[in-house]
């Protein structure tokens, strides 16, 4: 039976990225020094190292143009309210996740931020970064479930609205970054055209960093994305 779902790690967004892209426009403020505590006032307790971050805090840790260098343009935030439904066909593991689960093995984490950039210097490539935050006991296992589901189906099909798209996945060696990491290569085939994208996720404490786009751009900016997301 075909179950309707937004596909893993926002597969609908990945498809959109492979065709045109979507983004969240967020500025990255400069750090400021904290003023000394006033006399007689207690010093606020430090936030636990692995406490989840708010969406606003995650937004401040997204990559921006100054991190990426010349040739990158941040894309305007898109309105996803009218986005077509995505149906997953031929991948039981993803179909079992169903609904929001297939959107990320419950990558429906409570706090998130996103930015997408186009790269125009001699190419028409894009790179997107998603940051998520939740408790460690949810963040790692849920992300692992989604990556294993996707890479466990080397060939399957998705239908965006009424447009069929063939999907091929390949598990890649995970980078030596953060506490946990996963990586995959995804090929979308539609209308006789292949679009190859790399997607790598790194968990650093209570923050999950997902970088997607052309392989070269993901490899170029992943370490900086992880470092900045750590704060």
How confident is the model over 43-75, as pLDDT tens digits? 444 455 578 999 999 999 999 999 998 889 998
In this prediction, residue 77 carries a pLDDT of: 75
In this prediction, residue 3 carries a pLDDT of: 34
Distance, in Å, from the CA atom of 126 to the CA atom of 75, rounded to the nearest integer, reads 10
Query: Tens digit of pLDDT for each residue in 124-147?
Result: 588 999 999 999 999 999 889 888
pLDDT, greater one: 102 or 190 = 190
Strands of 111-119's sheet in order across: 3-4, 86-89, 155-160, 163-171, 180-190, 193-204, 207-213, 125-133, 111-119, 72-74
pLDDT at 159 over 60: yes
Helices within the chain (DSSP H only)? 11-19, 55-60, 65-68, 92-97, 99-102, 136-151, 215-229
pLDDT at 179 over 70: yes
Query: Tens digit of pLDDT for each residue in 74-119?
Result: 988 765 555 557 788 888 888 777 543 343 333 678 899 999 998 8
Residue 82 in tokens? 């009218």
Whether 110 maps to a domain, the answer reads yes
The CATH number of whichever domain residue 98 belongs to comes to: 3.40.1000.70
Whether 106 maps to a domain, the answer reads yes
Which residue reads 């965006």 in tokens?
160
Distance, in Å, from the CA atom of 217 to the CA atom of 187, rounded to the nearest integer, reads 16
In this prediction, residue 80 carries a pLDDT of: 54
Domain hosting residue 139, numbered range: 3-24+51-229
Q: How far apart are the first and last CA of the chain?
A: 44
Whether 36 maps to a domain, the answer reads no
With cut-offs at 50, 70 and 90, classify the pLDDT of residue 231.
confident
Whether 151 maps to a domain, the answer reads yes
Whether 188 maps to a domain, the answer reads yes
Whether 165 maps to a domain, the answer reads yes
- Please state, rounded to an integer, the average pLDDT across all residues of the chain: 77
Whether 89 maps to a domain, the answer reads yes
* DSSP state for residue 228 in the 8-state scheme: H
pLDDT at 23 over 80: no
Provide the domain count of the chain.
1
């Amino acid at each position: 039976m075909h179950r309707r779902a937004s596909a893993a790690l926002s597969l609908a967004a990945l498809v959109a990225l492979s065709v045109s892209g979507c983004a969240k426009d967020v500025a990255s403020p400069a750090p400021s020094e904290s003023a000394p505590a006033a006399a007689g006032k207690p010093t606020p307790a430090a936030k636990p190292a692995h406490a989840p971050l708010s969406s606003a805090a995650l937004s401040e840790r997204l990559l921006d143009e100054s991190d990426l260098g010349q040739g990158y343009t941040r894309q305007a935030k898109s309105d996803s309210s009218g986005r077509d439904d995505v149906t997953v066909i031929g991948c039981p593991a993803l179909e079992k996740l169903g609904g929001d689960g297939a959107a990320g093995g419950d990558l429906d984490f409570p706090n998130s931020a996103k930015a997408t950039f186009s790269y125009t210097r001699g190419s028409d490539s894009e790179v997107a970064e998603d940051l998520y935050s939740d408790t460690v006991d949810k963040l790692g296992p849920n992300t692992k479930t989604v990556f294993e589901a996707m890479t466990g189906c080397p060939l399957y099909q998705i239908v965006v609205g009424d447009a069929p798209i063939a999907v091929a996945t390949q598990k890649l060696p995970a980078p030596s970054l953060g506490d946990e990491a996963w990586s995959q290569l995804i090929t979308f085939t539609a209308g006789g055209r292949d679009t190859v994208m790399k997607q790598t996720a790194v968990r650093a404490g209570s923050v999950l960093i997902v970088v997607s786009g052309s392989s070269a751009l993901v490899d170029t900016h992943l370490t900086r994305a992880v470092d900045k997301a750590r704060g």
